[in-house]
């Protein structure tokens, strides 16, 4: 497949349907319930309007930034996504290699189908490896979590990213209908070496849902952040916050960064779009931690909008999987390249020569002005 035939991420989404099984396609693309939040994540970016500067010398532009003091060639990280070998045999290895070569960060899922050691080795082969973080779900058996943290430290991961919006799994009806499980030959690579855990086959139910019920800890509270941070010196990133008060509390408990996220619309259907929650979180954190956002980003101009609303960087999810399905590492690399090029053009047309010049002045003031698709009074 010639990846260059795709000129935007929506092209990749269409092509991916030809490369994925129905079970994999539904797992990657589905949201919870009626998928209201899933759709609204995208609509939120379309509601935001820009007020660009003109007559600025934009002949030279710089997309680099730092997150937690770690250098990125563009303000983008790959979101933690499970089971990437459903899309391509190389799975997380292909994604990590493409991201590292492009200077984008990557957050590896606890439920990856390639091990953190394999992924780290791939990234370390690049001349200037971008930062790798490890995403955690807290298991009922805390020994499993401890072992994962110790392994992440030993293999050179630069931060721990705790997902906090999944005490139970959202009701994902497509997965339930498909009785989702991993095909033979795929496994939870980070867990089988520790505890032989894997996604069960569950008659009439999603195996992932059953796994969450049986293995993950729904009793997790703020106090457990102290315990988690006692296991290592890695900075803590908290992912899945949609409220300013929760963000402020996360900072009180030691979080160095917040990812504003509704889990790609896969948890609480009807939850606020991530972009709509961003400003509240940024204000509540008040520069005491860095803030990022994921959910619904499909264009480089979406990245510019997120940065203008206060995000330090964004995380990209499903489009990476589409690129992986279509072209493996080359597909992921091309998805990142498209976003980079679109962001570069959007910056030039907004009068910004570096990402630190992207600020709230670019956003049309007043949410009521963002269009009829949002708060109801736009023309």
What are the pLDDT digits (tens) for 38-77? 999 999 999 999 999 999 999 999 999 999 999 999 999 9
Q: What is the pLDDT of residue 197?
A: 65
pLDDT of 153-183, one tens digit each? 999 999 999 999 998 888 889 988 888 888 8
The span from the CA of 324 to the CA of 87, in Å, is 6
Q: Is 263 annotated as a binding residue?
A: yes
Q: What is the pLDDT of residue 62?
A: 98
Least confident of 46-55, 138-147, 149-158, 304-313: 138-147
Whether residue 379 has pLDDT greater than 70 = no
Question: Which distant-in-sequence residues (6+ apart) come within 8 Å of 19 by Cβ?
Answer: 1, 87, 325, 326
Q: Is 317 annotated as a binding residue?
A: yes
Q: How confident is the model at residue 366 (pLDDT cuts 50, 70, 90)?
A: low
Q: Which range in 123-127, 144-148, 353-357 is most confidently predicted, on average pLDDT? A: 353-357
What would the two tokens of residue 121 be? Answer: 């080795």
Q: Would you call 263 a catalytic residue per the annotation?
A: yes
What average pLDDT does range 216-223 have in this prediction? 91
Whether residue 368 has pLDDT greater than 50 = no
Greatest Cα-to-Cα distance within the chain, rounded to the nearest angstrom: 63
pLDDT over 70, % of the chain: 90
Q: Is 320 annotated as a binding residue?
A: no
> What's the CA angle centered on 161, arms 330 and 74, to 5 degrees?
45
Q: What is the pLDDT of residue 198?
A: 66
What average pLDDT does range 268-273 have in this prediction? 98
The span from the CA of 341 to the CA of 71, in Å, is 19
Q: What is the pLDDT of residue 202?
A: 58
Residue among 103, 193, 186, 198 nearest 154 (CA) = 193
Mean pLDDT of the chain: 91
The span from the CA of 301 to the CA of 254, in Å, is 32
Q: Is 137 annotated as a binding residue?
A: yes
What average pLDDT does range 315-337 have in this prediction? 98
> What's the CA angle centered on 64, arms 61 and 69, to 5 degrees?
155
The span from the CA of 96 to the CA of 301, in Å, is 24
What average pLDDT does range 342-365 have in this prediction? 96
Whether residue 377 has pLDDT greater than 50 = no
What phi and psi, each to the nearest 5 degrees, are found at residue 293? -145, 150
Q: Is 81 annotated as a binding residue?
A: yes
Q: Is 125 annotated as a binding residue?
A: no
Whether residue 2 has pLDDT greater than 70 = no
User: Alpha helices of 253-289 — where are they, by DSSP H?
Assistant: 274-285
The span from the CA of 47 to the CA of 372, in Å, is 8
Active-site position among 88, 139, 263, 334: 263
Q: Is 172 annotated as a binding residue?
A: yes
Q: Is 327 annotated as a binding residue?
A: no
Q: How confident is the model at residue 214 (pLDDT cuts 50, 70, 90)?
A: confident
């Amino acid at each position: 497949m010639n990846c260059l035939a795709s000129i935007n991420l929506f092209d990749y989404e269409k092509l991916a349907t030809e490369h994925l099984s129905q079970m994999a396609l539904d797992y990657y693309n589905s949201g919870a319930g009626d998928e209201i939040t899933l759709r609204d994540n995208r609509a939120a970016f379309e509601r935001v309007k820009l007020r660009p500067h003109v007559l600025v010398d934009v002949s030279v532009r710089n997309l680099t930034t730092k997150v937690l003091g770690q250098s990125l060639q563009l303000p983008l990280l790959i979101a933690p996504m499970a089971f990437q070998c459903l899309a391509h045999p190389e799975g997380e290895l292909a994604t990590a290699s493409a991201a590292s070569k492009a200077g984008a960060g990557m957050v590896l899922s606890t439920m990856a189908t390639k091990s953190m050691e394999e992924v780290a080795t791939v990234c370390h082969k690049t001349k200037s490896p971008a930062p790798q973080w490890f995403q955690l779900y807290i298991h009922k058996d805390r020994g499993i979590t401890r072992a994962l943290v110790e392994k992440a430290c030993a293999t050179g991961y630069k931060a721990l990213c705790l997902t906090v919006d999944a005490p139970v799994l959202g009701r994902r009806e497509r997965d339930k209908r498909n009785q989702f499980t991993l095909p033979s030959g795929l496994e939870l690579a980070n867990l089988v070496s520790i505890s032989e855990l894997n996604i069960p086959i569950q008659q009439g139910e999603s195996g992932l849902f059953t796994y969450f019920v049986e293995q993950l800890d729904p009793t997790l509270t703020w106090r457990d952040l102290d315990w988690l941070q006692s296991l290592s010196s890695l900075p803590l990133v908290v992912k899945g916050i949609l409220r300013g008060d929760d963000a402020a509390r996360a900072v009180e408990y030691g979080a160095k960064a917040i990812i504003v996220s509704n889990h790609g619309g896969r948890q609480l259907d009807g939850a606020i779009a991530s972009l709509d929650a961003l400003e509240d979180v940024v204000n509540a954190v008040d520069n005491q931690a860095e803030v990022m956002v994921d959910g619904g980003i499909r264009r480089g101009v979406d990245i510019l909008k997120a940065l203008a609303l206060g995000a330090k960087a964004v995380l990209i999810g499903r489009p990476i999987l589409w690129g992986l399905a279509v072209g493996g590492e080359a597909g992921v690399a091309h998805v990142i390249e498209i976003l980079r090029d679109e962001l570069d053009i959007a910056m030039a047309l907004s009068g910004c020569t570096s990402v630190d010049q992207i600020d709230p002045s670019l956003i049309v003031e007043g949410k009521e002005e963002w269009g009829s698709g949002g708060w109801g009074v736009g023309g």
